[in-house]
Amino acid sequence: MATPLAQEEYERMYETLGGKPVHATLANHWARLVELLYASERLLELSRDEEITDPNVRTIPTAIPDEGVGVVEAPRGTLFHHYWTDEDGIIQRVNLIVATGNNHAAICISIKKAAQALIKAGKVITQGLLNMVEMAFRAYDPCFACATHPAWENAYRGYNLRCRWGRDEKDKPPLSDHQVASPLLFSPRGLDHFD
């Protein structure tokens, strides 16, 4: 690690877990804490960098972009963003490949292994038992269980969710669960996606 406290915790983590590689899925949580410590230390370093804190750091666009791509490494995995805009710069199409998609196979395998180890014939399935199985996918994304709820909850509260398809409403295809979970698909204008 590039910062001293994070390096110390990194070494302690591997020493405690028996060296590299670590095959314990739940060790992801510990690794995230080490990364968070690194990020905190690095943020402090960067906040003291005169070049970064200079007020002349923004490049103002001189044209309306028609397409943009971004790749971001986040604690739960790599996020790929691809946007297309119209002549006014309003987003018309979005393609997101999120960590859940990248980690899908590993998540399924972990859930299967946890369920097979914990759920046995004749054993009563309790909420506590299901919570233990749930730990298998939370190791990949602690927010996974709740992340898809807000759009559905808002729909049930009576909000009118708009989706800009660029054609008549009657012709639009039905939304999949994944699309409904993404507010970006409701309105390219951002926060105004709830009427």
- So what's the pLDDT on residue 193? 35
Give me the sheet containing 67-74, strands edge to edge.
67-74, 77-85, 91-97
Give the type of residue at 163: C
Closest C-alpha among 152, 36, 147 to residue 99 = 147
Burial class from Cβ neighbours inside 10 Å (0-12, 13-18, 19+) for residue 4 reads exposed
Q: Is the full-model pTM beyond 0.85?
A: no
Residues 145, 100: contact at Cβ < 8 Å?
no
CA pair distance 2, 153, nearest whole angstrom: 42
pLDDT at 155 > cutoff 80: no
pLDDT tens, 38-79?
Answer: 999 999 999 999 888 888 877 787 888 899 999 988 777 788
Residues 4, 11: contact at Cβ < 8 Å?
no
Indicate the domain borders of the chain. Answer: 4-53, 104-138, 148-195
Preceding omega of 55 cis (within 30 degrees of 0): no
Q: Average pLDDT for residues 97-120, to the nearest whole number?
A: 85
Q: Average pLDDT for residues 140-145, to the nearest whole number?
A: 68
- So what's the pLDDT on residue 174? 45
Q: Is residue 5 very low, low, confident or very high in pLDDT (cuts 50, 70, 90)?
A: very high
Residues 155, 161: contact at Cβ < 8 Å?
yes
pLDDT at 83 > cutoff 50: yes
